[in-house]
Structure 1
Amino acid sequence: MTVNTRGITRLTALLGLGAFALTACGSGGDSAEQGSGESAETEAAETTEEESSQSESGDAAASGSLTIWADANRAEVLNEVASDFESDTGIAVEIVQQDFEEIRDQFVSQVPTGEGPDIAVGAHDWLGVLVNNGVVAPVELGDAAGDFEEIAVDAWTYEGQTYGLPYSIENIALLRNTELAPEAPADFDEMIQMGEEAGTEYPFLVGLDPNESDPYHLYPFQTSFGAPVFGTAEDGSYDSSQLAMADAGGEEFAGWLAEQGEAGVLNLNIDGDLAQESFNDGNSPFFLTGPWNVDGAREAGIDVAVDPIPAAGDQDAQPFAGVQGFFLSAQSENVVAASNFLINYVGTAEVQTALYETGGRTPALTESFEQALSEDEIVAGFGEVGAEAVPMPAIPEMGAVWDDWGSSQAAIIKGDGDPVELWQKMSEDISSAID
């Protein structure tokens, strides 16, 4: 793979400052409060001068090494990038393959001991845990931030700092069997009507769980009632002191859940696997799901289209967006090289497109994003929905939400009590857990 770097000279100006800031961050404190501004500027200038000199001589920071944790899919692409990087800089890069589901916890436990990697792949909603444990450092994207989709950078921004180089955006959308439903529905009621007129077993499918429902998949309908999980602060970040779904919009959504449960439209006995199987068998024209189920539908001979999620309330239905990326260890001893690797190599269109082709997730880099959308209408469909999605909350308080949220939704759908009272009880329990 040939990597077209974006100008080491531009990067070194911001990395010189980043090297100091990241060192300060390693102690878990606020880098803006550590050391004098004068000494920081002096060190930044010295680092910038040194790196620029090395860059011009073709020997950019040719010392040390980098260790990167990645799952199997990402490791394949990164091995090629690492080879180019080592050839260009003289810095060896070791790619250590890890189970994606274990990376976050292993990172939190190993970084403080000095045994963790310099860089790891992960999801943006890990940030609250990573930042609070002091194991992750900001990534100084500088001007490169403007090269990425806005939602991707927003997702990796926590308390005013950007902590990752994003590479993919993932979200759900409405998958439609075009033979059974030639046109996209305008809203939820029209979708159900179209599904009933199609004469299939199910007018609409979404995978749920009998005990935990699935707040993630049902969230777009909840937002259409004006009931986001949390409110937002002035800077747009989530504010855990505002449990916004406890307001009237959430109660209205609870009533809607009860109605759909009673009508059989939301069926807790249909899990994700059964929903996928039923859609692929032609038993419903509509399936609320993610890009991970597209190939199966195509292999089953379904002509599929991807549509915006129809609103059940009077506002737009906005799903969660999950943004994957690469983050830096607060204990890395080679921050400048690690940042160089991320911004000038992983952050290029060649690599972002390669990661997309391997994993099938919409690229985060705008150039690759637009290319993917122009070449594949399925990617375009998910990408258009994702551009209007909202980042999954990365704040640690989100961990106190899921259990009560899911179990309460399930109880409401089953008709186990008054929906508003059940929702109010859920809100009280979540608020107590957060406090």
Structure 2
Amino acid sequence: MRRSIPALAATAVLALALTACSNDSGTDTSSDETSAASAEGSLTMWVDDTRIDSMRPVVEAFTEQTGVDVELVQKGTGDIGPDFVTQVPTGEGPDVIVSAHDGLGEWVNNGVVAPIELGDKADGFAESAVSAMAYDGQTYGVPISIENIALVRNDALLAETPATTFDELVAQAQGAGTEFSVLIQQGEESDPYHLYPLQTSFGAPVFEQAADGSYTDTLALGGEAGHAYAAYLAKLGAERVLDLSIDGDRAKQAFLDGKAPYIVTGPWNTAAFQEAGMDISVLPVPSAGGQPAQPFVGVQGVFISAKSENPVLANELVVNYLTSEEAQDALYEAGGRLPALTASADKVDDPVLQGFNEAGATGAPMPAIPAMSSVWSFWGATEAQLVGGQAADPAGAWDAMVANIQDAIGNNA
């Protein structure tokens, strides 16, 4: 979009304003001349194909208000993080990226992402969304959307008041007389992600969290809480509530075919249920262990390059504009993803998305620390042994898993 003379005048005003607030963002701007030069530049934003169309009207509105051009560059979803790490040090990277938060630890360790200061703006976002943007005591991004799993009910099969515990839910579901009670996708290596609400309800989260919500690399899934969860998984496997032969595709199809009143899944599957004409409700997963059942929360965020040529303008776009209700409303209207900003999320009138929002309100952000890469294989293999009845001593199998994960973290440090 070509800038008009009034837009250029607005840019000059913006430059002076940004100089005054640059210290709040951690950006080094030593003079009005430096800010003015930055204000007359442009920004480059990397975004994947699923979000570029929803981001386009938002950055166009930013350009209209400030006169600052934002070039959107479409990248593959799996390429944004790795390319960010390799290209930023060469000076060829973008000013800003839009990406899931789970690559944050790698970006910080490679020095390619800049810290930001949200200040009071943080209070306007879902707590889990802000926590996802934190690493080692610093905040690095602005959350724009969140997603998580929840309990989805086929209201044609069952429309009772939701159970208060998972065992009550299973009993309620068995009363529907269907082939399955509660579908939770598994597969040969189980599925720790879909089982995580049950695990956290026993007080056994995967890692400890610091006061600001960022994860440490101290494991928290062991001890008596972990033993109780391991025994419960073995019980669910023996009762055939969980079945390793039911992978994601089979679970989805079984629910579509009316073979279960409940499924634990995410918003990526509910569109197919609605297209099939199903009447569904989305509910929180009830607790199995007495504590809140916290699903993992995936957060999409916007991050500033540590080598941006226009850090002040990048801060204006990311921290000051994309945190606004106007911008978050526009992103939802264009993309249909649940906003991370509470004021925007509260206006969403889609009952399905509202249900996922309520289920994820107390969720736990997916750990973005490098140590997480050492967890998945041992975690899934052990849960598969428990569900499949191959662990004669569930507590011993869980302890062995914790020891193996700890050793892997130490070896990769």
TM-score (norm 1): 0.85
1:198 aligns with one of 163, 170, 176: 176
Is it true that 1:434 corresponds to 2:409 in the alignment? yes
The equivalent of 1:213 in structure 2 is 190
Deviation of the 1:138 alpha carbon: 1.1
Taking the TM superposition and a 5 Å limit, the aligned residue runs for 1:113-192 are 113-183=90-160, 184-192=162-170
- For residues 84-103 of structure 1, the aligned pairs below 5 Å read 84-103=61-80
Cα contact 1:203–1:284 (8 A) shared by 2 = yes
Residue from 268, 274, 279 that aligns with 1:292: 268
> Is contact 1:77–1:351 with CA below 8 Å preserved after alignment?
no
- What does residue 36 of structure 1 align with? none
Report whether the alignment pairs 1:75 with 2:73: no
Deviations 1:4-35 (A, max 9, x none): x9x9699736741156x346xxxxxxxxxxxx
- Residues 175-226 of structure 1 show CA distances to partners (whole Å, capped at 9, x for unaligned) of 011121212122111111111110111011011121x211111011011111
Name 1:401's counterpart in structure 2. Answer: 375
Provide, for residues 316-347 of structure 1, a one-character-per-residue CA deviation record: whole Å limited to 9, x for no partner. 21111111110010010101111111234333
SS at match of 1:421: helix
Give the whole-Å Cα distance in 2 for the aligned partners of 1:396 and 1:313.
29
| Letter in structure 1 aligned against 2:169 | M
Pairing 1:17–2:46 present: no
State the 1:263 CA deviation: 1.4
Mapped partners of 2:256, 2:390: distance in 1: 32
Shift of 1:287: 0.4
Give 5+ residue unaligned stretches, structure 1.
24-42, 55-59
2:190, 2:17 → 1: CA distance?
47
Q: Classify the secondary structure of the residue corresponding to 1:182.
A: coil
CA distance in 1, matches of 2:231, 2:325: 46
Please state how far the C-alpha of 1:356 moved relative to its aligned partner. Answer: 2.3
In 2, the alpha carbon distance for the partners of 1:120 and 1:422 equals: 41
Higher deviation after alignment, 346-355 or 406-415: 346-355
Structure 1 residues 213, 396: closer, same or farther in 2, change over 3 A? same
Aligned to 1:31: none
Give the letter aligned to residue 315 of structure 2: S
Partner of 2:4: none
Paired with 2:301 and 2:389, the residues of 1 have a C-alpha distance of 41
What amino acid is aligned across from residue 279 of structure 2 in structure 1? D
Runs of 4+ in 1 over 2 A off after TM superposition: 7-15, 77-92, 139-151, 231-239, 343-351, 353-361
Confirm or deny: 8 A CA contact 1:209 1:270 kept in the other structure. Answer: yes
Between the aligned residues of both structures, percent identity stands at 49
| CA distance in 2: counterparts of 1:90 and 1:233, whole angstroms | 40
Alpha carbons of 1:11 and 1:401: their partners in 2 closer, same or farther (altered >3 Å)? farther
Q: Distance in 2 between matches of 1:414 and 1:206?
A: 14
2:281 is the counterpart of 1:275: no
SS in 2 for 1:205: strand
Quick one: which amino acid aligns to residue 106 of structure 2?
V
Q: How does 1:24-423 map to 2 (within 5 A)?
A: 46-47=31-32, 61-183=38-160, 184-210=162-188, 212-241=189-218, 243-372=219-348, 375-418=349-392, 419-423=394-398
What does the per-residue CA deviation read over 1:349-369, in whole Å, with 9 as the maximum and x for residues that have no partner? 233123224443320112211
Kindly state the Cα deviation for residue 77 of structure 1 after the two structures are TM-superposed: 2.5
Measured in 2, the distance between the counterparts of 1:225 and 1:253 equals: 6
The 3-state SS of whatever aligns with 2:221 is: helix
User: Whole-Å Cα distance in 2 between the matches of residues 329 and 429 of structure 1?
Assistant: 35
User: Which whole-Å CA distance do the structure 2 matches of 1:388 and 1:91 have between them?
Assistant: 37
Read off the aligned partner of 1:371 and give its amino acid letter.
K
Equivalent pairs, count: 397
1:306 Cα offset (Å): 0.9
Aligned residue for 2:46, secondary structure, equals strand
8 Å CA contact 1:238–1:393 kept in 2: the answer is yes
1:272: how far off?
0.9
Contact 1:149 1:365 in 2 (8 A): yes
1:133 and 1:408 mapped to 2: Cα distance?
Answer: 32
How far the C-alpha of 1:235 sits from its partner, in A, is 4.7
Q: Alignment RMSD, CA only?
A: 2.3
Distance 1:265 1:88 in 2: 55
Q: Which SS does the other structure have where 1:101 is aligned?
A: coil
Change in CA separation of 1:109 and 1:410 when aligned onto 2, cut-off 3 Å: same
Change (3 A) 1:82 1:380: closer
**1:40 maps to which residue?**
none
| SS of 1:356 mapped into structure 2 | helix
Gaps of 5+ in 2: 1-9
